[in-house]
Amino acid sequence: MIVFVRHGQTAANRERLALGRADPPLTELGRVQAMAVASRIAPTLPAIVLTSPLLRARETADAIGDASGAPVRVDARLVELDYGEWDGLRFSEMPPDALARWRSDPTFAPPGGEALRAVTARIAGFCDEHAEGPTVVAVSHVSPIKAAVAWALGAGEEIAWRMFLDLASITRITAVDGRASLLGFNDTSHLP
């Protein structure tokens, strides 16, 4: 089983900015969220905590590792989608025609960025590797977690635009005999 955790809050999240490969730390609230999700996950005794290389995810993963005693290791496949020139913008500041194309075409990439199709491919490999083994925690970001949900449901990338994923939320997927399942999505019951 893979227990996906979205990282805690950063200042860019608080300001509702697109946050791709920029690398800000957690806010004070983000640290509180990381501790809350860590307390929720610790009793499940994960075998390992895998994390995106970005600081906000690593800080969240370290809290989970400390609480559970599981080792923490970086897995670059969990990194957020690269927003390129759109990193740090509000969606309302993005060119409307390009934004519409992005939402309808999974091969479209923001200028200097990455297409959702590329995120789907790397996350599919991650899920293929970990969904049928012991419990693994994967600390990541909104786009990779939505791609994992699409993988579990056998759905196309366009489904990502119809999902909302909270900060410090838990999403669980598994596979049995090669058949993937979504066990839970956007669970925030552990947050104050």
The tokens for 23 are 């690398």
SS3 171: strand
**pLDDT per position as a tens digit, 21-51:** 999 999 999 999 999 999 999 999 999 999 9
Q: Quick one: 111 exposed, middle or buried, by C-beta within 10 A (0-12, 13-18, 19+)?
A: exposed
pLDDT for res 59: 98
How big is the chain, counted in residues? 192
- Encode 56-69: b = buried (16+ Cβ within 10 Å), e = exposed: bbbbbbbbbbebbe
DSSP annotation of 188 reads: -
Secondary-structure class of domain 2-187 per CATH: alpha beta
Question: Are residues 23 and 7 in contact, defined by beta-carbon separation less than 8 angstroms?
Answer: no
Q: Is 80 annotated in the active site?
A: yes
**pLDDT per position as a tens digit, 74-83:** 999 999 999 9
Q: pLDDT confidence of 192, banded at 50, 70, 90?
A: confident
Look up tokens 């307390």; give the residue: 39
Selected catalytic residue, list 59, 80, 114, 157: 80
CA distances to 37, 70, 114, 131, 152 from 86, rounded to whole Å, are 29, 35, 11, 32, 29
Q: Is 7 annotated in the active site?
A: yes
Selected catalytic residue, list 7, 59, 130, 157: 7
Question: Domain coordinates of the chain in residue numbers?
Answer: 2-187
